[in-house]
Amino acid sequence: MARSAVALVVFALGAGLSLSAQQRGRAPIGISWPPLGAGPFVLDTAEQHKIRVVVVTRGLNNPWSLAFLPDGQMLVTERGGRLRIIRNGVLDQQPVAGAP
């Protein structure tokens, strides 16, 4: 078989396996996160035990980085490129920058 024919067969088989996996209702590849509870949570890490974690806000899409402003507000970047602001524990629905 020629190289291009072998590549086509491998591609077709791979596509068929992918479709059949989706048809069988398998979960997508990657990490699925359970819904976030009300908190607070007490967690153990490799470096510190009994860390208290509280939920500050909800509604962010893949929060990526956080910066505290002098007046207590928080700037949060999302993986998609949006910059969001949290004031008094409430997420502003309008992004500061990026796509709405």
pLDDT tens string 69-94: 999 999 999 988 899 999 988 999 99
**Predicted local distance difference test score (pLDDT) of residue 89:** 86
Of residues 2 and 94, more confidence is placed in: 94
* Number of residues that this document lists for the chain: 100
Write down the pTM of the prediction.
0.56
Three-class SS state of 41: strand
Give per-residue burial for 66-92: e unless 16+ CB within 10 Å, then b: eeeeeeeebebbbeeebebbbeeeebe
pLDDT tens string 21-53: 455 566 666 677 677 788 899 989 899 999 998
**Predicted local distance difference test score (pLDDT) of residue 28:** 61
